[in-house]
Every structure is written in C-alpha cells, then in structure tokens.
Amino acid sequence: MDQNQRLLRLCNGFELHLSHQPGASQSAALLQVKAGSYDEPARWSGLAHLLEHLLFSGGEQFPGQQRLMPWVQSLGGQVNATTLAYRTAYFWQVPANCLGDGMARLKDMVLHPQLTAAAIAQESRVIDAEYRLLQQHLPALTEAALLHSIENPACFRDFHVGSLACFGEDTALLRQALVAFHARYYVSQNAQLRLSGPQSLDELEEMARQFVAGWPEGTARAAEPLPQLAAAPHAQLKQNGPQQLWISWLIQRSDDVIRDAVTLLREFALDAAPGSLLAQLREQGFCREISFHWLSTGDNSCWPAVKFITDTPDQLLAAWQQWLAQLAETSPQQQAHYQQLALRRFHHLTPLEKVRQQTLGFAPESAIPHLDQLLPLLKESVCLWVSPDAPTQTCVTQGYTLSRSSWSLPSMSLEVRWKFTFYPQPLPEPAPAVLADGAGLLHLKPDSWPATLLLRPAWHCSPDAVRGRALAEQLGGSFAWLRHLGGEAEWAEVQGIWQFTLQLPANHSAAQWLMTQIADALVSTSPAHPLPPESIALRQLLAALPGVLLASTGSGQWQGALLGGDRTLAQQLAARMAVLPPLEEVEKARPARQMQPIAHPGNENALLLFIPLLDATPASLLALQVLARCYEPLFFQRLRVELQVGYAVTCRYLRCGDRDGVLLAAQSPDVPIATLLAEFKAFLRNMTAQIAQLTQEDIQQHVQRLLHEAQGQNIATTLQRTLRREAGLAELPEETNTQLTAVDLLGLHQQLLSQRRQWRMLFSRGKQ
C-alpha cells in the first residue's frame, strides 16, 4: 500500500480505508454496510431498499434541512446511496473543510434514524414509483434476465425493489421490521468506511475514529451461500433497442486479487488503439461498444460481466475466445503497462468516484498484475443475447415479467482469424512539421510539462450529439494510442459543447500525429448511428437541452488554450489549428419555442425548466450560483418530500451551450405536466420570502465556498474559464473578498421571475 493510503481493522470489526489526496479541493466519504436486498426477511420484499431511503430522513441531532442530503445540496456537493444484493452503500462529496460536519450527519442518520410513520409512508410511495418505472427500464430488465440464471439460492430470483403491495398498510408492523433489520445488520462488525480528501492520513483517521465511536458491535453476518447455476444458464431476452451480447462468469472467489485482475482484464478490453480487440471489432462492423459490470459481489463469489453492442453474436464469440487465448500469452511487461493505464484512469477520477469504484466498481489496488490467476477461471461463461427478434416466452423473475427463454450458443464463426495487438508498440510516422506564430492559440505557463490543450468550437456552437458521438468513436483509436505514450485525449460533450481535451507528451511527433488524425476525422463522413432514447425521461430532456440553447449545430472556427509545453509545440499546434476544417456547415438554430415536447417512449411525465441569466457579469453569475445553492435543497424538500411527485427531482445551477442559468426538473408517474409547471412557478414565487430571511453570514458562506471551489477546478475547466475571460464572457470574480447581499440576491431573483419569455421548458408526456 502506498504512503497516501491507510487500512485499519479496529477491534470492534470496523474496517477503515483512508486516502490522502494532495491538492484535492473536495473530500468524499462512503459507508458500506454488509447487508442488502438478499438479507431481508421473505415477508418484507424491498425492506433493505426502504431502509436506505428512510435513513436520509434524518436522525436525532440533525433533523429537517440540517440532515445530510439537503446540507450537502446546499454546499453544491453530491450525495447518493445504493442497495445491492449483499451490500448497502451511502456516499457523498463536499468541500474539504466540511468533511467533519458531514461525518457527524452521516453518523446521526445511520445510528439514530427516526423512522416516523410519515416518512415510511412517503418513501414507500417513492419506491413504488421507482418500481413502476423499472418495469420498462432496459438495464433493470437485462440484469433480472441475467440473475435468473442462478437457480440457488432462491433470492437471486426473488422480488427485492419493493412496492406498496409488499409493504402493506400496517405501518407499525413495517416499522418493527425496519427496526429489527437495522439492529441486526447496522453494526460495527458489518461496516466499512472510506474517506478520501486533502486531509492528512492522521486527520482522516481521527475523523474516522470519531465516527466509529459508539457503534453497536453486534454479530457479523454469516457468509452468504455459494450461488449455483441452472442446468441451462444461457438465455435470450426479447427487448427493443440495440442488440447486446452479455458474457459473464460466476467465479467462486471474491478476493482482492481476483477483483484487481478483473479490473486489468477490463483495461485490456477497453483499449481502442489500432490492432486491439475493440478497434478490430469496430473495423469489421461486429461491435460498437464494450462495457464491464459487476452483476453480484459477495464474501466468497463474484460475478463480472462484459456487454457488447453487436448484431453478430457468432463473430463476437469467436473474436472474444481468440482474444482471451492471445491475452494469456502477453508478457509481464505488457501486463504491467496496462496495469499502469488502469491506475492512471483511476487517479483521474474525483474523490467521490474513487471511493465508489474502490467499493462498488473497478479500481486497481495493486501495481502488480494478477491476470494469470483470473484467466483459467473464465473458461465457463454465462451468456445472454438481447434482441428484438428473440422468441417470446414469458418468465417472471424479481418482480418483472420478461420475454426470456433458453439459448443455445451459436457456432463460433471462423471466417475471420484474429491477430490482436497488445501495447506498447513503436511510434507511427509523424506528419511533416509545420510552424505558425501561435496566433489563435492562448499559451499559458510555457515550458512546463505535461502540456494540456483545450480545443473547442466557436461560442454557442457545437455539433449535435449524433455527430459528436460518431467522432468520439472514430477518434477512439488515436486517443487510445496516445494513452500508451503517456498522454490522454478526449472528445466529449462538456456543458452541452463537444470539445477536445488533450494532455500531450513531450514528444512533438506524437502531438503532430494526433492533430493530423483529428483534422482527418473532422472532414470524414463516417456513419453516425442514431442514438437510442434514454431509458429515463428526465435524462432525455437533459440530452435535448443543448440543441435548444445553441446558436448553431456546427462551427467554422476553432479556438484553443494550451497550458504548458514549449514554444515549438505551441507553434505546431497553432499551425494545425489554422487548417482545421469546420465540423459541418454552420446551421443557424431556429428561434426556440418557450415550451417544447421531447419524444420519449416511457409512460411518465417529465418537465425541465431552464431559466437563463441574461447579460451576465461576474457579479450576477456569482449571485446566480448562490441563488441556485439556496433553491436546491428547498426545491427537493417541496417537490420530493412534501408533494411527493416522484423520486426524480433536481434543481441546480447549470451552464449548457455556453449559457448560464438555473435548472428545475422533475419526473412523475402520475402528476400532469401542467401541475408540475404550476408547482415550479409557485416554488419560485415563495422563494422571495426565503431569500429575504437569509443572513449576511449565510450569503458570504456560499460566496466563499463557490470562489474556493472555482480555484480548485481541473486544468480543462481552468483553460475554459481563461478562454471565456479573453472573449469577454462572464466568469466568477477572481477577488476572494467579493461581497453579496440579500438585496443583490432578491434583485436577481425578481429578474429571473420577470423574464418568463426567456424561459425554456422541455417536457416528455407519458403515454396516455
């Protein structure tokens, strides 16, 4: 374990994982309790899920708006939880200096939950709404189809989400079951805590020990039984959408070595560099996307899976088997190289994503690869074929009615004999060197390394999502090749704008070669696959918002900022930028209608309201973000808790398509769009009195946190901010002593209310 990590196993059974992150501005915490859906009594399906929801209702010391969730929201942080088969996890991220206050709130809600009758009734309805939504949620249905391959224990096929029908009408009896479940499993013997942040390991340990003090010891939960596959585990699932092949392995081990090896396997498989598995599958048209998932993890078994978006399962299976055989022949040096890539991928994550991946996902815990211990365990797989053309055969499992049937694996196609490339490999021939005077490229901190280039279209312009994703796929091989040289490259949608972020190695030939690949991709006519609709209606509205706000879906101009690198590199990049072709013909966006329907196949009502900030200045932008921090917890409280419109409710500051504004959004299974809009407006009107009650101390706390967070942003965000200032666009003030008053906030709030003609509303109306 490196010097920035510390693992402690206390005498009461509590396990502490501490991570010092030098330079981070945020801290994160994750509490995992070894109890999940498969531990609940047979009488109470969904009990573990319901308890997870209820703990956020608050404890003895921090009720109401002081409890963890609204408190984190008021800080602009992130907070969530998840209930899995044998685990429940609570995780959140806040400014680093607030970690201790957050730990006190977490301890209060977990150890002293109130479990009031009102909260139980409220969260029961929320979970019932979730269950109704999941009935049409493809990822949930696919997971249920995969888990049905387990014959024993029966819990893999039982219903666990929860519903009003399961919870019944006797709230007192349900509360007794919740209290008993909490007392049995929420004990130190079953708990693990992860803390990550810029604090020293000693400081993190002190906070962790304060958190652990007072926990009941209880009895450790017994190890779960080993799962047993059905006689015919391979299956096919009839579902609309892109065809998918899932290959998974039920491994009768679940130690750090195996999980680390699965992470390394994932790193090899996700490599898109020329000659790799993914690159060749894309070239042949056999697969567009690969992703890895954990279907289940327990004390003595784990179930990893890989998903392929493919129309040719026979070709895919053949390629995969040949790839595994060649992977087994890779050298220790090659495996160590990919292990380093996995470590780099992990280190780029936020503190919150790091603790989540370490607990629930794919995190390399060692610099030493252990692939040789995993590959022999992958000989027997469980496959699922998902296709609209699969036969219809009814199967009821986990509370879902599926069109699932057994599947005989297709004969592996041997039309293609595959020869795969594993890295590192020699550098390709560079393009001829060209130089320019650097005009058009902002160069910051010259002669420092590494060098990071931000390259983006003109302001308020961007390709649409279909074209953007096609370019991402086309450039994936070049970007992956750069990773093997120590660089990083990404073409991604950031705040509604597709842009390049390139971390370039000191090798100028590599930078020139990459820029040539980018220029070639921008003039190509590679096919753009239509995007399938988002499974959640609210996400579909968010995906559509950039197209509503952008002035153009193309750009004939490029602008960039380079941080680091020498003068020669800046000259070469400027020359390449000067000849970059337009993404496509500039298409002026039509004037946006105030209220626009967005097609979605679901049957729920979703509404998104974006209120733009007009004529933004640094001061008004700061006031807008403070207002959003004030709105967020109260909006959640009003719509999610008091009105109970549904489980999906959000309010926050948002920059989208180079426009700043406040976002309010909600999704409901039964509340009409008109009613949602009326509640949005009523909330905004009622906020006038709330803002007037803010003290100057409250306001300045928000101001200082926002300005502090702005200073701790990543390099790409810093470059974006610099480009905006150069163009005269508003960014947060650089002065740390900036003052705001309640009068300033009220003035802006009233301005936002008065400019209703500028509001943009998107809605997705459920099937009637």
Q: Which residues lie closer than 8 Å to 747 by C-beta, 6 or more apart?
A: none
Nearest C-alpha neighbor of 259 from the set 113, 354, 126, 362: 362
User: Rg of the Cα trace of the chain?
Assistant: 26
The string over 231-267, giving b where at least 16 C-beta atoms fall within 10 Å of a residue's C-beta and e elsewhere, is eebbbbbbbeebbbbbbbbbbeebeeebbbbbbbbbb
- 566 in Cβ contact with 447 (< 8 Å): yes
The length of the chain is 768
Sign of CA dihedral 146, 152, 156, 158: positive
For 718-732, the DSSP string reads HHHHHHHHHTT----
Q: Is 616 exposed, middle or buried (0-12, 13-18, 19+ CB in 10 A)?
A: middle
* Alpha-carbon gap, residue 472 to 130, rounded angstroms: 33
| Residue 306 Cα distances to 14, 300, 303, angstroms | 33, 21, 10
Considering all CA atoms of the chain, what is the largest pairwise distance in Å, rounded to the nearest integer?
A: 77
3-state class (DSSP) for residue 178? helix
Strand pairing partners for 491? Answer: 500
Candidates 15, 40, 52, 473; catalytic one: 52
d(CA 177, CA 171): 10
Q: Is 130 helix (H, G, I), strand (E, B) or coil?
A: helix
- 52 is an active site residue: yes
8 Å CB contact between 515 and 434: no
- How many angstroms from the chain centroid is the CA of residue 403? 29
Distance CA(485)–CA(480), nearest Å, equals: 9
Evaluated on CA atoms 630, 631, 635, 636, the torsion sign reads negative
- What is the Cα–Cα distance from 295 to 247, expressed in whole angstroms? 11
358 CB-side CA count, 13 A: 29
Query: What is the distance between the alpha carbons of residues 492 and 504, in angstroms, rounded to a whole number?
Result: 17
Nearest CA among 259, 290, 265, 250 for reference residue 382:
250
CA dihedral 751, 756, 759, 764 (to 10 degrees): 140
Q: Residue 456: beta bridge partners?
A: 559
d(CA 38, CA 45): 9
Q: How far is it, in rounded angstroms, from Cα 93 to Cα 393? A: 45
List the alpha helices (DSSP H) in 96-136.
Answer: 99-111, 117-134
Residues annotated as catalytic are 52
